[in-house]
Structure 1
């Protein structure tokens, strides 16, 4: 299940056309998915996000030029509403850790069956996270290092970190002030901090935004 009102609109980002074509073919038959674009580079992906932000970007970690980690970091800073699901050939701990710190909500190996990729898309678009079974054991090691936040908590954190008031956040996200207060309480519980400066430090340290 996902928390979006309509079909999931996604963009495939990979510097190999064969990979993009293969992914598009695998996803095209799924009724609730809409592949609205493809990008062969980080710069192309950022341009697409600026013109028409998708719900989700499927991003290759190891692209040449701006790699997937750098792209995810840029998206987190410029378009925090765009969810990121990483695709990779590697289950290396550092890749996974860097992806999470950059704001990715999921990490799936390219060799994964279509069903698993679909499960990952649904989980990420439902406000959760998803990691391939091959890298799930790494998450136990990462859990103490990287705060596990929901999609909405990420959005609220970034707005708080940049000095927005509860009232302004409620207006920007089209939610109630009480809901913002609930998310803020959850962030305080998970992160142990509440001030804008402390939240900004955490966001920068984890690659969720830049100064």
Structure 2
């Protein structure tokens, strides 16, 4: 009989199950992915609640996940999910990077079991580059530039963004609010399949 390493306490696993769309096995697989993403020795095999919220990996380590390696929004995704723990007071204001708790939340939102409304909420946050609660022209331009990787001129990007606003800005304020954005996303048949990471 060998010694079995306990990654999380029963209480931690129960808490994680309550807060995510994952089973215990899936949570442990996600921890393995988090550890594999880190340099050797950065993340312990067994994590206390404090370590799960404080041991942070640089955001550029997210490029080590195949599903995010080529994603043009990888950095923005990392910032949105890492910011959640900062906003909730779970990390010090000087903390940079993504901790396991952030990573687990990110994977939960990108899971196939997460509801569409939650995915839409986070997609909006990812595209809201200036974080003002609206997708204005500058947010739409940045989103478009990220998607086309310099394949369009500034004028072409402006035309596309103006068309998006013309078709989707119901209240005429030259920006998309979360409800208008949701209306746009519900018309995109492939949104749910693209807003997904396998574990």
TM-score, normalisation: structure 1: 0.29
Q: Which of the two has greater strand per residue?
A: 1
TM-score, normalisation: structure 2: 0.30
Larger Cα-atom Rg: 2
